[in-house]
Amino acid sequence: MENCSGTSVHDFSVENHSSIFLFRMNTSAAQQWVSENVQEDAQFFGDALVVEWRYARDLAAAMSADGLVLA
């Protein structure tokens, strides 16, 4: 996906913080995916979805399988 200036926009920016990962939603498609696929009691840190390290790989795979771009 590209923005109007031609630079690449990732749906999610993923940050590794050892025991947790932060999935930052950069697009409305990312926000919609989270609202449709993540439990209501999920933890957030600001605008980022907080995920334990043991679930991060599967979550990223599911996002990618649905056509979202992660960085």
Q: Is residue 4 part of a domain?
A: no
**Is the pTM value of this prediction over 0.85?**
yes
Q: Are 14 and 21 in contact (CB under 8 A)?
A: yes
Mean pLDDT of 51-66: 98
Q: What is the pLDDT of residue 9?
A: 87
pLDDT (tens digit per residue) in 21-46: 999 999 999 999 999 999 999 999 99
Q: For residue 32, is it within any domain?
A: yes
Contact 17, 51 (CB under 8 A): no
CA angle 36, 10, 50 (to 5 degrees): 55
Domain-located, residue 2? no
pLDDT on residue 49: 98
Domain of 61? 12-65
Torsions phi, psi for 62 (to 5 deg): -65, -40
